Amino acid sequence: MILFKRPDDLIDFIQKKRKSIIKIGFVPTMGALHQGHISLINKSKSENDITICSIFVNPTQFNNPNDFEKYPITIEADIEQLELNGCDILFMPSVDDIYPENFQKNNFELGYLDAILEGKHRSGHFQGVCMVVKRLLEIVNCDVLYLGQKDYQQCMVIKKMATDLKIPVEIKISPTIREKNGLAMSSRNKRLNETQKESALVIFEVLCFLKENIFEINIDDLKETSMEKLIAKGFDVDYLEITDEILNPIAKAEKKQTIVALIAASIGDVRLIDNMMLNNANKAE
């Protein structure tokens, strides 16, 4: 694996590689890598000639300074995992590399996506996400961008930005990788103590409960019971929402519709998000 720290070095390297016909896959991350990230690396490796992973804890997407300061950093273990899994290039820029003094800030038109769920509860978060992803895409110049469904709304936001700005990149979304007990893998799980980790299983339990009962129990009652389950385990719930495919809340479940449940909740000072497709109308029977 080749490690690049300076954007210009990576840009040069890619320009040279581009002289032959190659396909480049890109997996942007904030590090503290786990199997969720590695699943994206593996997918990219199987579909491209070169796989680039970036590790950059992006300050502009943290609305909570405490969350930024406490974000886990495990660089040595990350490099080891990437090498073990055959990643070709690791890009690890500094904040000044990504946001130099002359950096031009865009205002991204995200419409309702910026005002609901994560957008509502983390003011400015998606502007920061778009800022960094746009900049990274300019540097890595990839053909395919790999994202995780774990961050469902983020996938929609990045797709919208890429479409609106006509960025020529294909976006592929991979399923959420979970621990055996169902807990969605997340870098933030490293900040949970054993008791909190145990309590956090309730998020997956609630999502499964919703999936089992979405056509049996009305949505208001489902949401009320789910909230009670989360609160009973000590969670402070930002939102628990049941929506259609494009995140519009639904009042009634219909079988011909794609239905998604999304949860954001904190335990102690760790905020977790998760989601599950309760009904997939696009899936062939």
User: Is residue 226 at the binding interface for ligand AMP, with CB under 6 A as the rule?
Assistant: no
- Is 121 designated active site? no
Instruction: Work out whether strand 259-267 and strand 2-4 pair parallel, antiparallel, or are unpaired.
Output: unpaired
Spatial separation of the C-alpha atoms in residues 136 and 29, rounded to whole Å? 11
- The residue range among 3-11, 85-93, 142-150, 263-271 that interacts with ligand AMP, by the rule CB under 6 A, is 142-150
Taking residue 43's Cβ as centre, other Cβ atoms within 10 Å add up to 17
53 vs 116, beta carbon nearer ligand AMP: 53
For 185, which DSSP code? P
What phi, psi does 95 have (nearest 5°)?
Answer: -60, -40
Residue 262 binds ligand AMP (CB under 6 A): no
CB 134 within 8 A of CB 167: yes
> Which phi and psi (to 5°) does residue 259 adopt?
-125, 135
As a dihedral over the C-alpha atoms of residue 129, residue 131, residue 133, residue 134, rounded to 10 degrees, the angle is 150
Contact 179, 185 (CB under 8 A): yes
Contact between residue 127 and residue 107 where contact means Cβ atoms under 8 Å apart: yes
CB of 32 to ligand AMP, least distance (A): 7
Site for ligand AMP, residues 164 to 203, rule: CB under 6 A: 174, 176-177, 184-187
270 in contact with ligand AMP (CB under 6 A): no
Does 153 bind ligand AMP (CB under 6 A)? Our answer is: no
- Annotated catalytic residue within 34, 37, 121, 125: 37
Q: Could you say whether residue 275 binds ligand AMP (CB under 6 A)?
A: no
Q: For ligand AMP, which residue of 25, 93, 119, 148 counts as binding (CB under 6 A)?
A: 148
Contact between 222 and ligand AMP (CB under 6 A)?
no
Question: Considering the rule CB under 6 A, would residue 82 count as an interface residue with ligand AMP?
Answer: no
Q: Given the rule CB under 6 A, which residues bind ligand AMP?
A: 29-30, 36-37, 39-40, 147-148, 150-151, 174, 176-177, 184-187
Catalytic residues: 37
